Structure 1
């Protein structure tokens, strides 16, 4: 099984995903928010790129969620903090979600046979799901403003580690995947510090959002794996 890691949305072309399993990693914060919302009982997440698309897609009973430049969008029901999505507010509700990077990454990878969403909090479950789908894997780091984000590389490395721990010895990693696996292994016990010290983490800290970083630094607390079905994310059932 071949596994490659793409450093950011800007580096990804849709052709690279054909006949493969894509795993979109956006640790701070969309991936973590999506996992949390579906684990809390949300019916589905509808990822869209723009605020206008989000408002146009909203139906009666739907919640609008999202951020721009780390801040909740004016007039939306929810921002992009995982803790906002843990409550009964989201249970059995559809959520229309637009974020700066994560939703773009999901749309860029949509031509893959399967598109999964990963964060630190569901890494083991997502790694096992990807192996079970028996396709070559492309891990797409969402990044920030078309640039690489350290926390997503760390998440990619964690996914690779969990895939290897599953006993699959025939993984063929590309050069960037090898580098991200090494990055994760060098800081495997320092998830919170890694997230807080990156550029995205520093932006969140300046906005007083330390709790978001702490929530997103939790490792393997969920067994839930979001998968893109058509235009919506739901929980993978296999």
Structure 2
């Protein structure tokens, strides 16, 4: 079993993910939203690349059956019900609803990963559950960091390190590429997460927007046990 990392959506190469088990991470905040919404009882999350596509699909559904969620540049989309804040996706809001979602980085990463054999959704909040599922599947893994506007993102990278560290704690024979090994080293040196993440540019943007509650929530380790899967253009729990 081999584990590799792709550092942003712009660096996805089809040949690297074809027939692989892919794990998509957008810790701040798309994948944290997806995990939270599904854990709170939403039927499914359907990701879209553009606002226009999202609204077009919404027009085909009964208004009481769906929630529009998403952001551009970390700010809520004007026509939408919710932003990209996981704490907004409460049980009484999303239960039995379909969440139609578009974000700057996360949903773009998902839509570019469809050549993979299996696509799982991960964040800090469900990292241990994802690690356990990967060990159970026992096939080569490529962890894809959504990144920020096509660039490397420190927050997604340390989340990758945490998942790898959880896998190694059970099976230390896993093969790691250099970039995957480095992620584990960085995690082990910053297990509190904040000591590393506070240096990230995305963290600074969120702080400037007053998103402190989101930051705190998204850094919580393994508080949710579900593993979402992106399949047939929608995300549901495995």
Both proteins in one fold, TM over 0.5: yes
Q: 2:172 aligns with which of 159, 166, 169?
A: 169
Alignment of 1:99-118 (within 5 A): 99-118=103-122
Q: 2:164 aligns with which of 146, 160, 164?
A: 160
Alignment of 1:188-227 (within 5 A): 188=191, 190-227=192-229
Partner of 1:29: 29
Kindly state the Cα deviation for residue 19 of structure 1 after the two structures are TM-superposed: 1.4
Partner of 1:5: 5
Asked if 1 retains the 8 angstrom alpha-carbon contact of 2:41 and 2:91, the reply is no
Alignment of 1:60-71 (within 5 A): 60=62, 61-71=65-75
Distance 2:69 2:125 in 1: 20
**3-state DSSP of counterpart to 1:197:** coil
Partner of 1:41: 41
Kindly state the Cα deviation for residue 15 of structure 1 after the two structures are TM-superposed: 2.1
Q: Which runs of 5+ in 1 are unaligned?
A: none
Kindly state the Cα deviation for residue 113 of structure 1 after the two structures are TM-superposed: 1.2
Kindly state the Cα deviation for residue 134 of structure 1 after the two structures are TM-superposed: 2.5
**3-state DSSP of counterpart to 1:109:** coil
User: How far does the alpha carbon of each residue in 1:54-97 deviate from its partner, in whole angstroms, 9 at most, with x for none?
Assistant: 11111212111000000000010111001001231100100111
Asked if 2 retains the 8 angstrom alpha-carbon contact of 1:13 and 1:108, the reply is no
**3-state DSSP of counterpart to 2:216:** helix
Alignment of 1:4-153 (within 5 A): 4-58=4-58, 59-60=61-62, 61-153=65-157
- The verdict on how the C-alpha distance between 1:88 and 1:196 changes in structure 2, with shifts beyond 3 A counting, is farther
- Please tell me the root mean square deviation across aligned C-alpha atoms, in Å: 1.0
Q: Which runs of 5+ in 2 are unaligned?
A: none
Distance 2:68 2:200 in 1: 28
Distance 1:170 1:184 in 2: 18
Q: Could you tell me the TM-score, scaled by structure 2's length?
A: 0.96
